[in-house]
Amino acid sequence: MFYTPWVVSEHTPDFSSMEALLLDSRFKGRTGQELALALWELMVDRELGVFHYIPARERFRKGQDVYDALQIWNCFGFTICHCHAHVLGSMGIAAGLPARIATIRGHEGTEFHYDGAWHYFDGDIQMFHRKHAPSQNEIASRQDTYEDLSLVDAQKNPSNPYMFPDRLPALMRSLYSDPPHYLPVLRESIHSMDFRLRPGETMHRYFRPKGRWVVFDNYPQLFKTFCSPKGEIGPQETGPEGPAERFWPWRSYANGFFYYSPKIGIKWQDLEQGADSMEGIDLAEDSAICNSRSGSIIFSFESPYILCGVPDPLGRVPSQLGAEIKAKFNLPEGASAKLILQSYDGRLAGSEMPWKTIWTSEGKTGELDASIDYTDLVDGLYSFKLKLELTGQGSSLKTFSNRLWFMVSPHSLPRLKKIGENRMSVHFGDRFHQPTRSFLFERRMEGAGVNPPGASSTENLIYDPASFSKLIPRDSSLPWIMTIEPKSPNGEKLEWFALFATIEGVKPGDKHDGTPFTVELSEDSGKTWEKILESEHLPHELGWHSAVFAEKRLSGKASSILLRFKGKKGLGLFRVAGHYRPERATPASGALEVEHRWFEDTPNFGRRILSQIEKLSGSGHEYCVHCSNEPHDESIILRAPSLERKPAKS
């Protein structure tokens, strides 16, 4: 078993975590304006940056775009203004720069605070504005541009780049004429890029799209509104062709897939290592056999990238060719087989979620091949469970494979860039270098009910999903309390967690006594508590929510924790990402294969596909990929070998 084998190129930052990203040489040792410029330059970089396209959406929050920086950098590589602003702000805060969101008309950018003042950076339309002489080396604030519009359209020392080709200074000037408003940064750092490769599993990531992407619920209407020709003028925005930049260099999304094909039989440990559970199943020479009236095998599929298929951009028919199972059964007379799926819907705890049948043998017996496309059931997900059921003693599974396609930002992948040696490094494990798996504790704040979804207990709290803040105090003069209990999926010990929540702001005239919002942690079932977060409710003219974030390493002794929220103002949402150490995981056995595939235009033969395979152990590793001519990346492949059972000692 290999936990998060992450390959890093000397030409690309390490996007596995925010901490790793900020250790990149372009940021190291920089402070103030130098640091702010370096963060902005990465955001607008034509090879590595985040391009402009309709943002991805959250699954459990109606109408909510994705703000999580790691998610945007790795899974998508695109978003639009307000999300660009929050991603850039999140990076700045993580790097030690105070940040806030500043508005222009119909648009948002980021302000960083250094040298005693605020300075405005736009990561979407791609510009900042320097002041006029004699302060021409100082970057202006949003207030500066409001007071002097010539900083926008008569800029003597413009940034590079300076605005989109179709959003030129003369057009943008008028948007700066509105007085600025300011918002706190939504520092949503919950998404984990952790994954595992089981024996017999491969992760194949391309640097180009393969026609599979997620059409989010708002896309079809937006395509019709913004992506249709008007007379002789072509579409203003890219849309139904899939996520793509509308200007040169025409960046795009990319695809990849997990392919899991464990070897089945007594000689191999693939099933035992890769399955969550096996009940009523024995391993024979070349199959898994039901040893009683019924048996089952449960697999978890967890991806750091969003799962997808070939979509209909207008949402008329479900996506296809994104999730495909192939299996071979041997069913005696009267026996049967079934495949059923369980996916998290944000409403119930994992153990309570229903299972959905996706295939049955339908009374057929003998040698039976199954081929199932279930893309429509997992499109837009990151994880699910699959159960294989055998009924009838002697029924058996001969072969099994599952292919899951996903979206990936090609800008985050380890690139080959130069003739000669391209240095690579590999690290394993989560951000603390531990072999953990992650889970998300989140509930939809919708539907009727007395208590909030996911709450273990509440005091002085009203759950009203139709209100501005879903969770509000019953008596506003007293604090409300809500306790939740995140648990690892199978009782394994929790190692660390991250928490994100949004809390209501204070409107002018609100009778708020300044009581802060707090979160406390207990690892011993409520016997002792530790405060891990305290935040004031920030003032805002409309009471808009601000974000709070905390993370904490745990003792590793408990499989569940209690988190106690307290406050006097409303709570909009909460998310907890837990990380646990699997009990049944064994150290990596055998060598992980890393294959780089690329094209070179050779002098004698023209274009040729080349590859280099490295075999790595489960610890850090460095190597070089040699290119004789300019390389053009095709894909990177990680393969975990099947695990052969060692003979018993006599």
Please check whether residue 44 is in contact with residue 123, taking contact to mean a CB–CB distance below 8 angstroms: yes
Maximum average pLDDT range among 111-120, 337-346, 600-609, 637-646: 111-120
> Average pLDDT of 377-398?
95
Other C-beta atoms lying within 10 Å of the C-beta of residue 136 = 10
Amino acid at 370: A
Mean pLDDT value across the chain: 92
Confidence at residue 633, expressed as pLDDT on a 0 to 100 scale = 97
Read off the pLDDT band of 352 (50, 70, 90): low
Query: Which is higher by pLDDT, 604 or 412?
Result: 412
> Average pLDDT of 543-566?
93
pLDDT at 123 over 60: yes
Amino acid at 551: E
DSSP string, 308-363: --B--TTSSS--BSSEEEEEEEEE-TT-EEEEEEE---SSS-GGGPPPEEEEE-TT
Confidence at residue 464, expressed as pLDDT on a 0 to 100 scale = 85
> Average pLDDT of 539-556?
91
Please check whether residue 420 is in contact with residue 626, taking contact to mean a CB–CB distance below 8 angstroms: yes
CA distance 71 to 59: 13
Q: Helices 32-44 & 81-94, crossing angle to 10 degrees? A: 140
pLDDT digits (tens, 9 = 90+) for 167-203: 899 989 999 999 999 999 999 889 999 999 999 999 9
Q: Of the candidates 535, 576, 529, which has an alpha carbon nearest to the alpha carbon of residue 188?
A: 576
CA distance 278 to 112: 54
pLDDT at 349 over 60: no
Q: Which domains does the chain have, with CATH numbers?
A: 17-183 (3.10.620), 253-408 (2.60.120.430), 437-581 (2.60.120.260)
> Average pLDDT of 17-30?
95
> Average pLDDT of 106-127?
97
Read off the pLDDT band of 227 (50, 70, 90): confident
Of 73-77, 94-98, 272-276, 472-476, which range is least confident?
472-476
Please check whether residue 204 is in contact with residue 287, taking contact to mean a CB–CB distance below 8 angstroms: no
Read off the pLDDT band of 335 (50, 70, 90): very high
pLDDT digits (tens, 9 = 90+) for 570-597: 888 899 999 999 976 565 567 899 999 9
pLDDT digits (tens, 9 = 90+) for 241-260: 999 999 999 999 999 999 99
Q: Of the candidates 75, 76, 152, which has an alpha carbon nearest to the alpha carbon of residue 109?
A: 152
Confidence at residue 587, expressed as pLDDT on a 0 to 100 scale = 58
**Helix (H), strand (E), coil (C) string for 38-102:** HHHHHHHCCCCCCEECCCCECCCCCCCECCCHHHHHHHHCEECHHHHHHHHHHHHHHCCCCEEEE
pLDDT at 353 over 80: no
Please check whether residue 278 is in contact with residue 272, taking contact to mean a CB–CB distance below 8 angstroms: yes
Query: Which is higher by pLDDT, 531 or 444?
Result: 531
Confidence at residue 617, expressed as pLDDT on a 0 to 100 scale = 76
pLDDT at 113 over 70: yes
> Average pLDDT of 455-461?
91
pLDDT at 140 over 90: yes
Read off the pLDDT band of 448 (50, 70, 90): low
Our CA angle for 265, 323, 637, nearest 5°, is 70
Other C-beta atoms lying within 10 Å of the C-beta of residue 274 = 23
> Average pLDDT of 51-73?
89
pLDDT digits (tens, 9 = 90+) for 605-647: 999 999 999 998 767 789 999 999 999 999 999 999 999 988 7
